[in-house]
Amino acid sequence: MSSDHDHAGTPAQEPSISAWRAYLPAIASFVLLLGGIAIDQLAPKFFQPEWKRLAWYLAAYLPVGLPVLVKAIKAIAKRDVFSEFFLMSLATIGAFFIQEYPEGVAVMLFYAVGELFQDAAVDRAKRNIQALLDVRPDTANVMRDGVPVETPAAEVKVGDIIRIRVGDRVPLDGKLLSDQASFDTAALTGESVPRTIVKEAPVLAGMIATDKVVDMEVTKPFGESSLARILDLVQNAAKSKSPTELFIRRFARIYTPIVVALAVGIVLVPLLIVEPYVFNTWLYRALIFLVISCPCALVISIPLGYFGGIGAASRKGILLKGGNYLDVLTKVNTIVMDKTGTLTEGVFAVQEMKPAAGISESRLLGVIKAMETHSTHPIAQAVMKHPQGDAVGEATNVEEISAHGMRGTVNGEEVLVGNARLLRKFNVPYPAEVDAVEDTIVVCAIGGAYAGYLTVADKIKDDAKETISLLKAQGIREIVMLSGDKTAITQRVAATLGITKAFGDLLPEDKVTRMQEAKKDPTAVVAFVGDGINDAPVLALSDVGIAMGGLGSDAAIETADVVLQNDRPSSIVEAIRIGKATKRVVTQNIILAFGVKAIVLVLGAGGLATLWEAVFADVGVALLAILNASRMR
């Protein structure tokens, strides 16, 4: 079937009643065809003289045949002689020449119906993606003198304050000005669980406010929002052809003219060797050859299969920059992963508390929180976010000592909060175990005496361990973890997750070196998963680069081939699964198309198949292949 329909960039619209007008020519042709066959069988005298029969079937042929004839002429004008339009025109005109009118009409009718089904399948696939992603509001409520004013979103400037009401979809990227709010992020990440966003944290276009009216400051213009980037990625993904698609298109251009030459041979060669030679018999067999030769099932169902895979991935929050990466994902056998932000949350959190004898956990944490209120350090923020314990009073006379910590007074007692160097500076004795702690540590002294410590570390993502197990189950032979964090911490995280090869204390250039080592094995197909700006060189070096897109840096997302919008490691497994499912569908379609065509070609050449079988081999198999491709969800 035709591959020249350009649906790219067409706005997604729900099917309307007017869309059924496209089916009217096929319906008219079908009714006239059935009427003609009935008259042939029940009242053949009605078609006397013969021109009446020809006129009837021409009336049945033209509604579906004329558009194809016009396309064939236009294709020939562009020097594309062996197009499917030419083949269909030649085969059906030939059928009329030998007075096989019903079969000539049937070939063109079923071809036209196949075209309509193809268009519907492609439009539905594109419409599903667009309905999922193209959710940008056209307007925004911009605050002007304290009053929200509805303004076209494209005219909103960076720095403007906009108001988002409950149920409203965020029109542009920005940062939250309200204390905190809950947002539905399903359009961006595929996750149904709302995400809580705190003050100053990023809010992305496409999110939906779920619990309260909030204000946000715009940080990116309308055309540069995260949602605009997603739309661009998905729309352009279909343009990046997979090797299978490219091969099939090249193959079709070669084998179609070969089959036409064979069809001519079927007509002429028997003239030399068959006695008696009946021209109409051999022309009929040649026409069968021509109908079967159309590579419709391959040319449309294979791209549709890849597009279905891209759409299925998009609904899971996985954005692929081309169908070719679906192919690469099926071959990946080595995965190299960054630690921070990929397998861990990328934010600090209190891990454990070790108060000294006579000091309760609540008092230790309360005193530390009272001091950390005066610090903006990420570690201080992590302590303040810990759900247990409140500050036990107000810290006064707080003095920050660079590279050590803070000294101040809480409830009349001198308090030291910082690292072990701070305690040594003020000659406060502490247990030897403090110096042996590998994690980031916050040590506290109250009234000149050691009071205990707490550790702050990055939290492993909930699905990280399961992801590693599933990757191994899928046949990934080697998983490597790289990190700029301390080697001891990196090794501990790796052991927790079940990763046997891990390297810490790495600079960006060290990560590149490790990736180059992984690629020295000629059998290795390497995927790298990362999120930071320092991961961009390694993402570019890998066979397929996968970026954490929700919190990842713009540089990593731009360099990557696959973007995981939900930041969940388990999406890596899902991406590989979708890649393999797409490959299965495409392979099934190739086998189905070639298998059936080969059988009917042989039967047609031997005179054992009619044009009806040829129609099935062409249009019928194409429809089956399209239905198979449409299974991608």
In this model, does residue 370 exceed pLDDT 70?
yes
> Which of residues 632 and 8 earns the better pLDDT score?
632
Spatial CB neighbours of 385, under 8 Å, sequence gap ≥ 6: 349
Q: What is the H or E stretch that residue 408 is in?
A: strand 405-410
pLDDT given for residue 13 in this prediction: 40
Instruction: Give mean pLDDT, residues 487-497.
Output: 89
Q: Say what the alpha-carbon torsion angle 21, 26, 29, 35 is, to the nearest 10 degrees.
A: -100
Which of 166-170, 417-421, 486-490 comes out lowest in average pLDDT? 486-490
Which of 117-121, 333-337, 473-477 comes out lowest in average pLDDT? 117-121
The per-residue pLDDT of the chain, averaged, comes to: 81
CA–CA gap between residue 338 and residue 175 (Å, rounded): 27
Instruction: Give mean pLDDT, residues 609-618.
Output: 74
DSSP-assigned states of every residue in 27-44: HHHHHHHHHHHHHHHH-G
pLDDT given for residue 568 in this prediction: 87
Q: How confident is the model at residue 355 (pLDDT cuts 50, 70, 90)?
A: very high
- Tokens in use for 302? 């294979």
Q: How confident is the model at residue 498 (pLDDT cuts 50, 70, 90)?
A: very high
Phi/psi region, residue 412 (left: phi>0; alpha: psi -120 to 50; beta: rest), is left
Instruction: Report pLDDT digits (tens) over 56-82.
Output: 999 999 999 999 899 889 988 888 777
Range from 3-17, 388-402, 540-554, 596-610 that averages highest in pLDDT? 388-402
- Tokens in use for 450? 């050691």
Instruction: Report pLDDT digits (tens) over 139-190.
Output: 899 999 889 999 998 899 999 999 999 888 888 889 999 888 888 776 665 4
Is 4 designated active site? no
Contacts from 8-14 at CB under 8 Å and sequence distance 24+? Answer: 8/126, 8/235, 8/238, 8/239, 9/235, 10/123, 10/126, 11/130, 11/134, 12/126, 12/127, 12/129, 12/130, 12/131, 12/134, 13/127, 14/127
- Tokens in use for 479? 């998983």
In this model, does residue 357 exceed pLDDT 70?
yes
> Which of residues 149 and 134 earns the better pLDDT score?
149
Q: How confident is the model at residue 6 (pLDDT cuts 50, 70, 90)?
A: very low
Instruction: Give mean pLDDT, residues 333-339.
Output: 92
**What are 183's strand-pairing partners?**
195, 209
Instruction: Give mean pLDDT, residues 44-51.
Output: 88
What are the structural domains, with CATH classification, of the chain? 17-131+236-310+580-629 (no CATH), 139-224 (2.70.150.10), 311-345+461-579 (3.40.50.1000), 346-460 (3.40.1110.10)
Q: Determine the straight-line distance between the first and last CA of the chain, rounded to whole angstroms.
A: 23
How does DSSP classify residue 590? Answer: H
Q: Is the peptide bond before 49 cis (omega within 30 degrees of 0)?
A: yes
pLDDT given for residue 10 in this prediction: 37
In this model, does residue 129 exceed pLDDT 70?
no
DSSP-assigned states of every residue in 176-242: E-SSEEEEE-HHHH---S-EEEETTSEE-TT-EE-SS-EEEEE-S-GGGSHHHHHHHHHHHHTTS--
Query: Which member of 173, 184, 327, 338 is catalytic?
Result: 338
Tell me the residue type at 89: S
pTM for the model: 0.63
Nearest Cα residue to 547 out of 531, 535, 534: 531
Instruction: Report pLDDT digits (tens) over 209-261.
Output: 888 899 999 998 988 776 666 556 555 554 555 566 566 666 666 766 787 78
How does DSSP classify residue 617? Answer: I
> Which of residues 477 and 390 earns the better pLDDT score?
477
> Which of residues 419 and 612 earns the better pLDDT score?
419
Phi/psi region, residue 411 (left: phi>0; alpha: psi -120 to 50; beta: rest), is left
In this model, does residue 309 exceed pLDDT 50?
yes
Nearest Cα residue to 484 out of 470, 498, 504, 466: 504
Instruction: Report pLDDT digits (tens) over 437-457.
Output: 877 789 999 999 999 999 988
Instruction: Report pLDDT digits (tens) over 499-556.
Output: 989 998 787 778 888 988 988 888 999 999 987 556 777 887 889 989 887 544 555 5
pLDDT given for residue 23 in this prediction: 85
